[in-house]
Structure 1
């Protein structure tokens, strides 16, 4: 009787576990495994690379070769050159293993790229913290390289330009066709990207960077603030733009003698080096009676000096601040 009762309990527990597994399999979210995900192929062999091959216990089959300009190598145990262009170490090891298997039973083959010379480094410079050349050994995108260079400086504008002096090695046909379409007799193919879009991680603004690519983070166009401000400054116009009030604030504000009712903005005329003068009453902007002025590249903001009243001049003399007055007025000594 006890045995029968024990068997019934075991059967009940087994059925409960089985039912729970079926419910879990129906309600659990789908999990992506490594095999489902897109995995980078790794380093792809190209001309100039030096490849070392070793066969365990069979030193006669060991080799050290350089990939020729056609992407091929020659080994003693093959009558024909082997095409290794754009193959990975794993793919080449499988091919070499088949060749050696003609002479050796179950060969253990090791393949290693000992010198990677087929790809020039990518270059990143301009308004980044660490201008440098980077040797790329795997698939890399623009945003990662910007981070690798320490990010952009405060003087960076909103434009990043990627030059591609040579067709990308081992790229897919679509990318090669894009390069050919951009290539012209007049210059090196390039594309321009928005810094904001790159930071957002948008795929269309975060391209794959290939060896030999040149990345330039352009400097923001400057605005110059001169005259009666606390600090004479060259201020970059960032991607968000720069208003007159922001420029004055970055220059430390006005000095005590500033004529805020008549600020002059000297702006370049289109397709010319001549400048037009835009006069702005800063007081009306501050009171909200006039919209703030957005500055343009190469603008010169000139803050003039206001004329002093008699009371202000006397105050300057008493405080020792009116150097121009004390230099002009004659001085006598009363004994």
Structure 2
């Protein structure tokens, strides 16, 4: 039910703040030169000075040696680059007419969406797109989400920043274009907050963070791993695991806890908790709740449990979807 509700809410808000005026490929800086682009330089009436190639890791035309100095092109427009090349060529040509075109954009960086989503994916973004739209396309948020979304933006992979564009337009690389991390609250997205529904750009890594686990094992009907959230108590965790089984002993409940580099062993009686004789403690991330089983020795040491939760990553093997 919770999964369905999250999906419905995200579908509802997915298109909310999207401006239909920015649906073209040239929106959000996409008409500027990016890493991976193939650039064509055409000098009208002269084959000798034509050139085609890519952008090197420093943001210059890679191997363009027909002028005295390198031409910085990253995040600049075609016309800006054409003007600079024409100025360089004017030293050896009379009134050169230069046309610069981006002829291939297919190798531009892709955005990644992973973590606590149903279908982690890569996205090639060719128009304005917001975080909720991508989350919906990734199948929606799962029950293991912690409540936050982390957006990591590497430097220079997108040209959306006004300061970066201004520096690039003058032929410089912006020193202020540093990697950025942004945290978005899922609750703010679901409430329809426009400031939270940010635009996602090529190269962004979006991770719906997963809640740390709490394990309930032993004499319960359905041993499981719960997402550690505020308010999860010992009795609620056991109830979520289907309650005490026929073999379980409600008077012998052990909580194994890792805290400050040490392992703690806490013993409780569920019967006393239900009778209000003992506090119903709040569980912490990575707690292991072990309900003893009748006829078996009580566990003295914490079990080894492999945490197989998969966090989002920039995996090149993920499915690729084009957003145009």
Q: Contact between 2:128 and 2:199, CA under 8 Å: does it hold in 1? A: yes
Is 1:243 aligned to residue 233 of structure 2? yes
- Decide whether the 8 Å contact of 1:244 with 1:293 is kept in 2: yes
With over 3 angstroms needed to count, the CA separation of the structure-2 counterparts of 1:47 and 1:259, relative to structure 1, is closer
Does residue 219 of structure 2 align to residue 228 of structure 1?
yes
> Where do 5+ consecutive residues of structure 2 fail to align?
1-18, 86-94, 166-173, 296-324
2:131 is the counterpart of 1:146 = no
| Cα 1:195–1:241 shift into 2, 3 Å | farther
Shift of 1:177: 7.4
- Matched ranges for 1:263-278 at <5 A: 263-278=252-267
Is this contact kept in 2: 1:225–1:234, CA < 8 A? yes
Distance in 1 (CA, whole Å) between partners of 2:195 and 2:176 is 14
Residue 130 (structure 1) shift: 1.6
Q: Distance in 1 between matches of 2:181 and 2:20?
A: 37
Deviations 1:13-52 (A, max 9, x none): xxxxxxxxxxxxxxxxxxx9969xxx75544222442256
Tell me, yes or no, if structure 1 residue 122 matches structure 2 residue 87.
Answer: no
* Alignment correspondent of 1:302: 290
Question: Are the equivalent residues in 2 in contact too, given 1:230–1:251 (CA < 8 A)?
Answer: yes
Preserved CA contact (<8 Å) 2:253 2:268: yes
Out of 247, 252, 264, the residue aligned to residue 242 of structure 2 is: 252
Looking at structure 2, the residues matched to 143 and 248 of structure 1 have their Cα atoms a distance apart, in angstroms, of 34
- The answer to which structure, 1 or 2, has the higher relative contact order (CA under 8 A, 6+ apart) is 2
The structure-2 alpha-carbon separation of the partners of 1:174 and 1:284, relative to structure 1 and needing over 3 Å to count, comes to farther
Residue 37 (structure 2) aligns with = 49
Is 1:219 the counterpart of 2:224? The answer is no
Q: Distance in 2 between matches of 1:225 and 1:252?
A: 10
The equivalent of 2:314 in structure 1 is: none
Assess, with a 3 A threshold, how the Cα gap between structure 1 residues 143 and 265 changes in structure 2: closer, same or farther.
Answer: farther
Match of 2:311 in 1: none
Q: Distance in 2 between matches of 1:297 and 1:199?
A: 25
The residue that corresponds to 2:11 in the other structure is: none
CA contact (8 A) 1:258 1:303 kept: yes
Q: 2:53 aligns with which of 66, 70, 86?
A: 66
Are the equivalent residues in 1 in contact too, given 2:37–2:54 (CA < 8 A)? yes
Q: Is the 8 A contact 1:42 1:88 kept in 2?
A: no
Instruction: Tell whether the 8 Å contact from 1:48 to 1:66 is kept in structure 2 after alignment.
Output: no
TM-score normalised according to structure 2 size: 0.57
SS at match of 1:298: coil
Q: How far does the alpha carbon of each residue in 1:175-203 deviate from its partner, in whole angstroms, 9 at most, with x for none?
A: 977753xx6xxxxx534433333444435
What displacement does 1:131 show?
1.9
Relative distance call for 1:215 and 1:268 in structure 2 (3 A) is: same
- Post-superposition offset of 1:297: 0.9
User: Of the candidates 188, 191, 194, which is equivalent to residue 185 of structure 2?
Assistant: 194
- Aligned-residue offset at 1:71: 5.2
Counterpart residue number, 2:281: 293
Aligned to 1:211, what secondary structure does the other structure show? coil
Taking a change above 3 Å as real, the CA distance of residues 161 and 60 of structure 1, as seen in their structure-2 partners, is: same
CA deviation profile, 1:138-172 (whole Å, cap 9, x unmatched): 33333332222112222232343333343443222
Count residues with an aligned counterpart: 256
Where in structure 2 are the equivalents of 1:308-323 lying within 5 Å? none
- Give the stretch that moved more between structures: 126-135 or 275-284: 275-284
Q: Which runs of 5+ in 1 are unaligned?
A: 1-31, 97-101, 184-188, 308-335
Aligned-pair Cα RMSD in Å: 4.8
What's the TM-score once normalised by structure 1's chain length?
0.56
